[in-house]
Amino acid sequence: MPQFRYVAKGSDGKLLDGVITCNDRAAAIRQVEKEKGFPIKIEPISTAAESKPGKKEETSPAVDRRPAAAGTVQKLSHGQLHLFTEQLGHLLTSGMTLDEALGVLVKRMKHPKLHGISRALHQALVDGRSLSQALREYPKIFTPLYVNMIAAGEASGALAEIMRRLVTYLADVKSLRDRVQQALVYPAILVFAGSILIGVFMVVVVPQLTGFFVKTGQELPKATKILLGVNHAITHYWWAGILVVIGARALFQVGTRSREGRRAWDAFVWKVPLISILLRYRYYAQFARTLATLMDNGVTLLRALELLEESSGNEFIRQKMIAIRAAVMDGATLSAAADEHKIFPELYVDMMAVGEQAGRFGATMHSVADIYERELDKQVRIVSTLIQPLILLGMAAIVGLVVYAILSAVFGMTTGLRSRIH
């Protein structure tokens, strides 16, 4: 019976290596995965690199190398991931085997990244690994949530159905994110354009006007003196402003590098007026949709909550979710645990409780996601309606102060001329 040399990563994170006897490579992978941990490298003894009998293979970085072309694809955009998932799902639904579907994608995908990931996954399949095992080699592309849904599809024999649900899920997430971004695009353009306009006015126009006032020898009003001081600071000490911005950014990065620092900042962001409303409703909708999708695909509640801990991108919420999962592990219902930690609205928790009691939790969470996606659209319209006039008022106030400083100097000059005439 053939022998295979393996390198695997154990549950404690350490590398293990040895020799195993199995019928074929696929059986060796399954046995290593069952007994040792996650297999990194498995190859027949006859083709293994030459070494002395009994000598362990060095656990150098070369041990953790990937199949050909694996290292060339580090990340895909959300749109590219959606396209890959959609195309693979269509092929599987049409009746192709996974091997055939990936082979077609290798030929069809013209984009270098999509072609590379398709070829690497196809090669992994040829080598005897499952699709979910191959996806785990690309954590920057395929999230744990994505990989676990694929693994659930492989285990249940419904991979094509899982791919279709993933396509719908990715489309929903993209739509949700796009709506929030679109609400902030126009205000961002206003801020950018207004900042440039005010900067040009301060650097070019103001010096010409105030220079004339200084030459008259008149005592300038306080507002005009302040305007001259601001202009002097901008034109002569602009580099100090850049240093302050760089320093503030560096301090922010250092401060948020620790888990506690990041938690404090994320807790502040979670409570900022206007912007936090969009963040909250986006999280509410995404949490409900993701949880429902995972449970529809056979993922247990505890495993789903573990995957959702990282989905918010917010350390404050992540620690709340860890506490909620711990409470569920101790026997509490999800609605009771969520109500205790106060990160979801009361209506949200009540609907969650109804779903638990009715035995239709997945369907209920889909309904919750629909409700909060509609509410998100409403909040996006409200926030975008409020932000635009606030920005315009702020710009108008700055311009008004500059005009007041100039006009007060003009009035002072005309008053001085009249007094001299008299």
Q: How many helices (H) and strands (E) does the chain have?
A: 17, 3
pLDDT digits (tens, 9 = 90+) for 370-380: 898 888 888 87
pLDDT digits (tens, 9 = 90+) for 157-210: 677 877 887 888 788 778 777 777 777 777 778 788 878 887 787 777 777 776
> Which residues is 12 bridged to in the sheet?
none
> Kindly report the CA angle at 368 between 365 and 373, in degrees rounded to 5?
125
Q: Do 221 and 412 touch, CB atoms closer than 8 A?
A: yes
C-alpha 303/C-alpha 307 separation (Å) is 6
DSSP state of 204: I
Rounded average pLDDT over 281-308:
83
CATH assignment, 71-142: 1.20.81.30
Residue 248: predicted pLDDT: 92
**In angstroms, what is the C-alpha Rg of the chain?**
31
pLDDT digits (tens, 9 = 90+) for 391-416: 888 888 887 887 887 787 777 777 66
C-alpha 310/C-alpha 302 separation (Å) is 14
C-alpha 368/C-alpha 374 separation (Å) is 10
| SS3 at position 49 | coil
pLDDT digits (tens, 9 = 90+) for 35-56: 766 555 667 775 434 444 444 4
Higher pLDDT, 218 or 66: 218
- In the numeric block, the tokens 């034109």 are attached to 235
User: Band of the pLDDT at 9, cuts 50, 70, 90?
Assistant: low
Q: Do 335 and 327 touch, CB atoms closer than 8 A?
A: no
Q: Do 45 and 17 touch, CB atoms closer than 8 A?
A: no
C-alpha 364/C-alpha 288 separation (Å) is 9
Residue 61: predicted pLDDT: 34
C-alpha 91/C-alpha 136 separation (Å) is 22
Rounded average pLDDT over 336-344:
90
Going by C-alpha positions, the residue among 59, 1, 4 that lies closest to residue 26 is 4
Going by C-alpha positions, the residue among 74, 301, 289 that lies closest to residue 170 is 289
Q: Where are the alpha helices (DSSP H) in 297-360?
A: 301-308, 315-329, 334-341, 346-358
C-alpha 376/C-alpha 370 separation (Å) is 10
C-alpha 320/C-alpha 338 separation (Å) is 9
Average pLDDT, the chain: 78
Residue 197 has a CB neighbour count (10 Å cut-off) of: 13
In this model, does residue 113 exceed pLDDT 80? yes
Return the percentage of the chain with pLDDT > 70, whole number.
82
Sheet of 15-21, strand order: 15-21, 3-9, 38-44
C-alpha 372/C-alpha 384 separation (Å) is 18
Q: How would CATH label the architecture of 180-422?
A: Up-down Bundle (1.20)
Tokens of 91: 């092929």
pLDDT digits (tens, 9 = 90+) for 79-96: 888 889 989 988 888 877
Residue 12: predicted pLDDT: 56
Going by C-alpha positions, the residue among 249, 297, 283 that lies closest to residue 147 is 297
Residue 157: predicted pLDDT: 65
For the chain, domain boundaries: 3-52, 71-142, 180-422
Q: Do domains 71-142 and 180-422 have the same CATH topology?
A: yes
Calculate helix-pair angle for 346-358, 361-421, nearest 10 degrees.
170
Mean pLDDT: which of 6-10, 97-101, 160-164, 245-249 is highest? Answer: 245-249
Residue 350: predicted pLDDT: 93
